[in-house]
Amino acid sequence: YALVGEREKCIELGMNDYVSKPFNQIDLYNKIKNAMVVNLNLQNNSTNSITIADNNKIQSEKKYTDLTYLKEIAEGSDEFIIEMINGFFEQTPEMLANLSKYLNEKNWPMLRGVAHKMLPTINFMGIHSIIDAVKTVEKNAGELQNLDSIPELTNQIIEVCNLALSELKNELNKFQ
């Protein structure tokens, strides 16, 4: 179901994650990959043939960005791609600081505004794994509902965006 609140119901019932239809293939892949890493972490605590090195290899192979859409709209212009990535570098740290600040202040209208502002940038950079989290923070903060879910989602957004920033530094080097 894609109805509002379905994800929360599923999580409350013990599911690890949720993907609504129509789903994005990359988002589904990333969620499955994340679940595998979690399972590997649990299995590493028991006698198992999977080693911690295998687990670290899986985590290091994870990509947080997908520049396919950005490259499509750039129509072959490396300058455009570089400009968009640099814009992400300029805007994102302040947005992340504001997310944290407004969360700590429980300033829901401002938190909602920052989440809303982040969506286009996250889409351009192909950070699919947090799109649902950003939309949920925007919705819940705006409607003042499920406020207890916002801290975890906000922390997830901040963590993934920081990882994406690191990844995009390497991507930017490919254009120079």
Per-10-residue mean pLDDT of the chain, 176 residues long, equals: 69 74 68 60 43 43 86 88 92 94 96 95 93 96 94 94 92 78
Question: Could you tell me which of 139, 160, 151, 136 has the C-alpha nearest to residue 34?
Answer: 160
So what's the pLDDT on residue 23? Answer: 66
So what's the pLDDT on residue 148? Answer: 92
pTM passes above 0.75 = no
DSSP run (H or E) holding 37: helix 25-44
So what's the pLDDT on residue 63? Answer: 87
So what's the pLDDT on residue 56? Answer: 43
Is residue 146 within 8 A of residue 84, CB to CB? The reply is no
